[in-house]
Chains A and B, each alone.
Chain A
Amino acid sequence: MSLLFEMNQKALNLGLPISVHLDVTYRCNERCVHCYLDHDDHGEMTTAEIVDVLEQLAAAGVFFLSLSGGEVLMRRDFFEIVERARKLLFNVKVKTNGVMIREKEAAKLRQLGVEQIQISVYSHRPEVHDAITKLPGSLKRTIRAIRFLKAQGLKVTIANVLMVGNFTDQAGVIALAKELGVLYTLDPTITPKMDGDTSTVALRIPGSDLRQVFHNQELVGNVEEFCAPPPAPGEDIMEGFPCSAGHTACYISPYGDVFPCVQFPLPSGNVRRQKFLDIWYHSPELKDVRSIRAKDLPTCSTCSHVGTCTRCPGLAYMEGNMRGPSTADCQKSFERTGIPSANMLKLERSRPTGPLIQIQTFANSLPDPALSGGDALCRA
């Protein structure tokens, strides 16, 4: 068991937040086709408000702080925010598209002791990457930023979100990451927009592509182990909870709204009106999220994948029920193992197998003696 896992478990047992994802802005210089955000500024927290939140988070015991957006560098005070965060001794991770990072910015991030930078790259080909970001020249600028950051000795990870428009370029992005000497992470999850608009979901890669990802040794390591059928869940699994959202982690928007996770838009409080710890300890929404155990999930508790599924309660919430299945994760479990989830089987059973209605007219034919009773004009 790793030390990090142990500390996370300790935070869980103590009911303490250990990780916070703070979006400092939703403004962005790119317009990615799959983005779940509205990029207008509806009244972001001021520098002073963010600093106050950081102080509260430090006092609450938060150790891991992810600063993201939008594009973080759209805020002129971004480095001031990072500086305050580092003075408060957070482990700081920055998520950016890198477009605005040049030598000076890279040096500043290094000087401030940022632990890692995650940069989105959608393809190694400018025509594909730039078509997704809708910013001409963005791949060139992003790669330039990665080189500046690497030259400073910073730990950089390329985050490759997979969607229908870039799936075939995945190997090219891996090769690019190797060439640049940075880490690579892949994410096949496209989420609905935060306002509930589900149009982005159409960009999700189909099951057959997902299956290829899960059976790619370079990505998953031991394929046989990764794609093995799920073991029978024990009591510990059924008493377990789905993920860290609301348990040891939470998300804060640029407007101060607190949610269990960036992918779980259940409004749980606002740091402009309440102290962070009041929200953390007393929000009815967070308490509700924390009360859920695997055994309480009506469909998923009966599923053979319950112990190994990546079920996201936030995606389930966006589908209408945080205790329900997340169909995107059902799909992943299926493509990984070839075994359908309980939800898939349920949907299959409830799907009519024949035509909804069959009508036989008698105008041009003799009545079927079997139907002559007059009670079976329609057969399902």
Chain B
Amino acid sequence: MAEKYISRSSEIAARMLGGEMMVMSATDSTFFTLNEVASVIWQAADGRTPLSEIVAAKVCREFDVDREQAQRGADRFVDELAQYGILLVSDEPVDSLPSPETQ
């Protein structure tokens, strides 16, 4: 299966609040909150690190979860945010925004 590279849209506002990432689309004002696991993936979405590597190096290590299960969850999360256009998915490395300031 081809690698996925994920990057954050430039059309969003984002901020970490007490372990959860708040994200709002500047285009349609849709508001999202990401839980701790999703926030880790979001912050690592630099457009250059493959999603599988983010899952292995960040999610599995920080949350002690099974890799296959974590990968399935990450794929679902990425697909959902991509539908709203706030996370961009590519099959090759791309540039991304800097990570939002964390609290």
**Interface of A toward B, CB cutoff 8 Å:** 3-4, 6-7, 10-11, 14, 16, 18, 58-63, 86-92, 113-116, 153, 155
Contact = CB atoms under 8 A, between A and B. Distances in A.
Given A113-B26, A114-B26, A58 B17 contact: no
Contacts of A61: 15-17, 101, 103
A115 B17 contact: no
Interface residues of B, number: 23
Nearest to A116: B29
Interface of B: 10-18, 20, 22, 24, 26-27, 29, 31-33, 97-98, 100-101, 103
Given A61-B103, A115-B24, A89 B29 contact: no
29 contacts: A4-B31, A7-B17, A7-B20, A7-B22, A10-B17, A10-B18, A11-B18, A14-B17, A16-B103, A58-B15, A59-B101, A61-B17, A61-B101, A61-B103, A63-B13, A63-B15, A63-B17, A88-B101, A89-B13, A90-B15, A91-B24, A91-B26, A113-B10, A113-B11, A113-B12, A113-B26, A114-B26, A115-B13, A153-B27
Most buried by B among A7, A91, A92: A91
Contact of A92 (B10, B13, B29, B103): B13
Contacts of B26: 91, 113-115
A159 B16 CA distance: 31
Contacts of A11: 17-18
B17 A155 contact: no
Contacts of A113: 10-13, 26
Contacts of A59: 101
Given A86-B13, A89-B100, A113-B13, 12 more contacts: A14-B17, A18-B17, A58-B100, A60-B103, A61-B15, A88-B101, A89-B13, A90-B13, A91-B13, A92-B13, A113-B26, A153-B27
Contacts of B98: 87
A89 B12 contact: yes
A91 to B, nearest CB: 4
A62 B29 CA distance: 17
Contacts of B10: 113
Contacts of B16: 61
Contacts of A60: 103
